[in-house]
A and B are shown apart, each in its own frame.
Chain A
Amino acid sequence: MALKIVKGSIDRMFDKNLQDLVRGIRNHKEDEAKYISTCIDEIKQELKQDNIAVKANAVCKLTYLQMLGYDVSWAAFNIVEVMSSSKFTYKRIGYLAASQCFHEGTDVIMLTTNQIRKDLSSPNQYDTGVALTGLSCFVTPDLARDLANDIMTLMSHTKPFIRKKAVLIMYKVFLKYPESLRPAFPRLKEKLEDPDPGVQSAAVNVICELARRNPKNYLSLAPLFFKLMTSSTNNWVLIKIIKLFGALTPLEPRLGKKLIEPLTNLIHSTSAMSLLYECVNTVIAVLISLSSGMPNHSASIQLCVQKLRILIEDSDQNLKYLGLLAMSKILKTHPKSVQSHKDLILQCLDDKDESIRLRALDLLYGMVSKKNLMEIVKKLMVHVDKAEGTTYRDELLTKIIDICSQSNYQYITNFEWYISILVELTRLEGTRHGHLIASQMLDVAIRVKAIRGFAVLQMATLLDNAHMLTGNTQRNGICEVLYAAAWICGEFSDHLEDPLQTLEAMLRPKVATLPGHIQAVYIQNAAKLFATVLRAQEGVPDSQKAQETSQLLIDRLPLFVQSANLEVQERASCVLQLVKYIQKLQQKEVAVAEEVSALFAGELNPVAPKAQKKVPIPEGLDLDAWINEPPSESESEDEKPRAVFSQEEPRHTRPRHTEVDEKELARRREARKQEQANNPFYIKASPSSQKVYPEVPGVEHIPVVQIDLSVPLKVPGMPMSDQYLKMEEERRQKEKEEKKKKEKKKKKEKRGRGRKHESGPESEEDITPAHTVDIVTEEMPENALPSDDDDKDPNDPHKALDIDLDNLVVGASRRPLADSEKLPVRTHRPTDILKSPVEGAELESVSQEPKKKSKKDKKEKKKDKERKKSKEEKKKKKHKQEGDDELEEASEEPVQAGENPVAAALPATAPAEGFNLDFWLSNVPVPSNKQEATVPVLPPALDAAQVSEPEEHKDMEPEETKFSKHKKKKQKKEKEDKKKKKRHHRHHSDEGGDESVQNGTVEEEEPLPPMSNYCLLAENSYIKMVYDIQGNLQDGSQVVVSVIFENKSTSFLKSMEFNVLDSLNSKLQRPDGAGPHDGLSVPFQLPPGVSNEARFVFSVQSIVMPQKLKGTLTFIVKSEESSTHEKLDFKLHFTCTSYLITTPCYSDAYAKLLESGDLKSSSVRLEGVSMSFHHLLARICFHHHFSVVERIDSCASLYSRSIQGHHVCLLVKTADQTVSIDAKCDEPSLLGNVLDEIKQTFSMC
């Protein structure tokens, strides 16, 4: 054994190590590949040895070779061997190699699970660290599932070094195994407040990554992050958090409002540019989310723009770049603020850095208006001339077109100008965007009818000077423009001044050098032009001219008939035959012009690109079904060309082929047969396609929907074009003088000839410049389906992480982790960390129910919870006195909770960090929220006006003074109420019940009157107490009594002490060390007119019977002159209802429960109940903490659970003012009492 090791060591001395390998490669520059292949052979030998050191060395070398691009996956197993070495040195090498070349497809990964688990739990923190690092790179769904629990344990490791790695890797685990997110989230959240800054930063990192993809689920963490933001000094953490807020604000505008101030402060105070920049970015996001209707934020915008200007003016190119980037975001919502910095941005166009120029271009896009478009484009044109690189020039070109064509040519006031710009752009050499210009030309000419005349003239010039453009015949080169030019001249040939000249230009031999598709268009449009020319010439007595034109075509076309391009050839021969026929007729002195132009009659309407897709499929039409028997393969080939043809050419009535000279036709067919000998199917296709033509319905049958723009676009001459514009035009006029002169000459010569219109809409728009034109909108089929483009990528791994975490965040008991959600643990005994607090039927129902339902349910619960929280919050707020900075409040929250004896006595329902988001977000309205709670004694039957009032207040944000006024009003009202109705007893508050009805089955019905469960406890001239009792979800033996103390006097109330005489069954929970008869001091003082809420926890043993507890409140009344000791006795009434907790139940679980036979039944009838069933249910739910399971017409099943787990099921039916309630419960006396209480509730109204 020893010998073997020694031998291994000696072997090792002769092995190449990594350095030797590198050196060797460097020394074999000429035959590197060969050298490496010998090295790989050596490595293979080394890997065969038993010595782990040799193996590790080999693996290390492989890692290097992997970097050079060599596939080393063949050594995967050896890598695993090295990973499992007990030596850190080798282990590290192994894990490094694995992290470089393992991936999900590597099959040996499944062998590593146990090794990794061992390493993770290694006593050596560096073994663990190395394993975590490696795992982070190659974690697979299987590994994630198997190791999630181990990693979660590591999140609480004693060493921060491990903790931070464990926290970070959780993100990867979540991605691969989304089920782990819910169970792991609470702990992850804990780590946000880890004492070690590295761990904290890691947790922030992970949550930010998660939240970026599914921000809404993390909204509830906002308060926590807010706290971190205001307390952290780590710029990395700050940047991450601020970025996260940027993602959250769009979902919650109130958050934005809250953020503005601290962010502004940071902007002012920070010296770190990175932080400053992110702050500005987030402020921008906030401003966007707040929409523009916020005038008071203009200061923030100004600040941002200012800061960005500083960045842009900075000499550091990076800052300049980012400044521009952020500017473009502001631009979207506040274009005006950016537009004032136009000078700066235009300046950036001259920057030597291309990235910066491109950013500046982006900005220009949003900065144009009708006013400055021409000016900006002019500048860009100057840049186009100056630009040296083709990429940048192309970019400029596309930007110019983008800018001009954006939002349906919104900013173009003068289309003549635009056409000339496009024509100028054609002078660009070597651009790849010829097709872009071409499509713009086509689009404008087709859609802006009034511009056609001008466009046609320009295009004719282009065609005339085509030799300028034909230098570059590559695909998408500038010659593409000729495609558009030819088409426009042909289609709108009526506008041509000298169609004959254009026709001549289109048939020049040089044309044959153009790309095929352009030649094809040339020929087709030459035919159109021919028709126009004929029409003009036939009116003239000299018929010779018309024949000359025909001769011209007959002379020129054969060149194209010989074209190698199929399309060109076909069209050319068609046209040629047609012209020959026409010539024959002409020789017989037959007037043909009319008929020839009929070939091309009709107008083209633009069709929206998606129109075809959006044609709704008629009912009963199955496009996938065969209409006939499936044809053989050769037949199906036939179909294709037919479809192509009928789509392309439906509007032109083709020359009738039968009229064509039979001989010629045969010759042509022969020629084609030879051409396409290789493609026998093609020959079959063409006759069949010819047959199809007559059957194809014309475009006339396609419904044409012409949508006029609401903002008409103006052509020059309108008052819209102001002076500046005129100047601009003049400038252009000069520029184009030469061109124009030429044209004018032509005009003089040939006016009258080209201007002869035959019919139709075109004649009307003989351009009078002061014409208002509409852009023809693209056609869409009738009842087009709504847009369906933005589908999310179904493969996005983050989709799976869209998991609602709120319930976990707010409190452990919301939607507890179901058994199925627990992380798999290797051990056989169950772990208790993840124990689910709910058992039995509920758990079953949660996991069984469809997700949708449970979400709803969660929402209810959340609201319920939040309400509770907000009360807590309010109490604390009050204690602190208003006016305190909210920030401080937030950060001191936990401390306070600790100090506060009552809060300490509270059950764990309200963990300090569980802020109520709504509350937290509401800006000032601490008092307003409180009001709702302070005006609780609202018997359900109050008249509507009064009742609705507190609800309204909730929405308002009264200032402090306003608040106290309200207060007094309220008090009066309450007093009046009390005089009117002294009967009100207990109305328990659990608005969750209310919600459940609204969210549940009956949401369609009329809104419910507001209800409150707070009822009077005791009252004297100084103080009034109202209370509500709620069961504690977590502890079956506890109830929480919330008491609102309201100071009715003009004096200060202090030293309040709350005491209750305990009974055998119920006891007030007092802090440790207090005697059984000691009172609890109320943790606040009450200034005049103010109210506040305190909570007291009682432990109860039996809950089947209602009971009353006597108690006393003692307090000191302190007025200016004196202070007196006062006391107030009260009776706390614990109803059975107060032991019930609104618990949702699903119908299947409910049915099971009823079938189980464990429940005793009882029933009650209520007579003369006149309220609607909807109200009735709401009332039961609200006051007695039930939730509706199912409702069918006037019959509903309800469910509730006591804090000790008794199920209470109700079946409520109503008929003619009679309500019968059949109830079942496993505890008959509890049920009896609850029914009595329900009866009582309804007897009162």
Chain B
Amino acid sequence: MIKAILIFNNHGKPRLIRFYQYFAEDMQQQIIRETFHLVSKRDDNVCNFLEGGSLIGGSDYKLIYRHYATLYFVFCVDSSESELGILDLIQVFVETLDKCFENVCELDLIFHMDKVHYILQEVVMGGMVLETNMNEIVAQVELQNRMEKSEFVFISRM
């Protein structure tokens, strides 16, 4: 199970948070802070797995993260997930973002948090991996966007 997905920038500003387990808002922020603290002090050439976060899930809990330019993508998972598998998944997710936003950068995430959520929803659902095939993900996202557009035309015509 994936317990949480956090995206924040090099300064710890959250860009997307997705908890699959309920935490109150202040706790969520605390988890983000703690995670940022753990992740940010690591060099880029060390391994991408981290144990020792204490806030979610107790001992069966691992942080798997990737650092892209200004953003950290952190997945908090338990032992049922394959570490390398999740790393691949982060890559898939980021590549999907790249395709959907055309050369994604932090600003895209800042201004289109909702769209990033919609894309993420096609990758992970309720803490479980839904789809790993990028083409399939992109196709579904686009179909839904198209639907939204068609509705918009409809609305504005009214």
Contacts and interface: CB of A to CB of B under 8 A. Distances in A.
A18 B126 contact: no
Interface in B102-151: 110-114, 117-118, 121, 125-133, 136, 140, 143-144, 147-148, 151
Given A136-B126, A239-B82, A352-B43, A274 B88 contact: yes
B7 to A, nearest CB: 10
Given A132-B125, A206-B128, A67 B113 contact: yes
Contacts of B69: none
A1048 to B, nearest CB: 55
A64 B113 contact: yes
Contacts of A129: 144
B47 A19 contact: no
A165 interface: yes
Nearest to B26: A69
B56 interface: no
Contacts of B18: 100
A297 B2 CA distance: 35
A47 B156 CA distance: 21
A168 B111 contact: no
Interface string A19-61: 1001100100000000000000000000000000100000010
Given A209-B80, A353-B46, A236 B85 contact: yes
B77 to A, nearest CB: 12
B94 interface: no
A169 B132 contact: no
B25 A212 contact: no
B47 A63 contact: no
Contact of B151 (A89, A201, A208): A89
A19 B107 CA distance: 11
A212 B80 contact: yes
Given A89-B152, A239-B85, A169 B126 contact: yes
A285 to B, nearest CB: 12
A172 B144 contact: no
Interface in B1-54: 1, 14, 16-18, 20, 22, 24-26, 28-29, 43, 45-51
Contacts of B152: 89
Contact of A22 (B80, B111, B148, B151): B111
B80 A243 contact: yes
A63 B114 CA distance: 8
A623 B56 CA distance: 39
A171 B80 CA distance: 14
A355 B62 CA distance: 12
A239 B88 CA distance: 12
Contact of B50 (A67, A96, A355): A355
A104 B25 CA distance: 15
A660 to B, nearest CB: 51
Contact of B114 (A18, A70, A353): A18
A1099 interface: no
A356 interface: yes
Q: Which of B47, B126, B136 has the largest number of chain A CB atoms within 10 A?
A: B126
Given A137-B20, A165-B130, A63 B113 contact: yes
A61 to B, nearest CB: 10
B83 interface: yes
A22 B114 CA distance: 12
A191 interface: no
Contacts of A202: 128, 130
Contacts, number: 148
Interface stretch (A314-322, A368-376, A404-412): A314-322
A1032 to B, nearest CB: 40
B100 interface: no
A153 B50 CA distance: 40
A777 interface: no
Nearest to B48: A318
B24 to A, nearest CB: 8
A278 B113 CA distance: 34
Contacts of A63: 113-114, 117
A89 B43 CA distance: 42
Nearest to A21: B111
A168 B82 CA distance: 18
Contacts of B46: 317, 352-356
Contacts of A96: 114, 117-118, 121
Contact of B111 (A19, A322, A356): A19
A581 interface: no
A53 B111 contact: no
A277 B25 contact: no
B126 to A, nearest CB: 3
A279 to B, nearest CB: 11
B121 A133 contact: yes
Nearest to A25: B110
Interface residues of B, number: 55
Contacts of A356: 46-47
Interface string A312-330: 0000011011100000000
Interface in A230-261: 235-236, 239, 243
B155 A205 contact: no
Nearest to B16: A67
Contacts of A26: 110
A87 B25 contact: no
Contacts of A136: 125-127
Given A168-B130, A321-B47, A93 B114 contact: yes
Contacts of B131: 164, 198
A69 B132 CA distance: 30
B143 A321 contact: no
Contact of B158 (A5, A89, A239): A5
A137 B126 contact: yes
A168 B1 CA distance: 11
A76 to B, nearest CB: 13
Nearest to A101: B25
Contacts of A92: 118, 144, 148
Nearest to A68: B14
B126 A104 contact: no
B151 A88 contact: yes
B102 to A, nearest CB: 17
B55 interface: no
B47 A320 contact: yes
Contacts of B20: 137
Contact of A88 (B24, B114, B126, B147): B147
A274 B83 CA distance: 8
B54 to A, nearest CB: 14
Nearest to B132: A236
Contact of B125 (A53, A69, A165, A236): A165
Interface in A123-147: 126, 129, 132-133, 136-137
Contacts of B151: 87-89
Contact of A318 (B29, B49, B114): B49
Q: Which of B17, B51, B80, B144 has the largest number of chain A CB atoms within 10 A?
A: B80
A161 interface: yes
A274 B85 contact: yes
Nearest to B46: A353
A273 interface: yes
A355 B49 contact: yes
A172 B20 CA distance: 11
A71 interface: yes
Contact of A104 (B22, B48, B130): B22
B143 A22 contact: no
A676 interface: no
Contacts of A104: 22
B84 A274 contact: yes
Interface string A758-769: 000000000000
B56 to A, nearest CB: 15
Given A126-B143, A126-B147, 7 more contacts: A88-B147, A96-B117, A103-B22, A198-B136, A274-B84, A322-B84, A355-B51
List the 10 shortest-distance A-B pairs measured between CB atoms, nearest first.
A136-B126, A274-B84, A353-B46, A317-B47, A103-B22, A321-B47, A69-B29, A89-B148, A239-B82, A133-B121
5 contacts: A133-B126, A171-B126, A236-B85, A355-B49, A355-B51
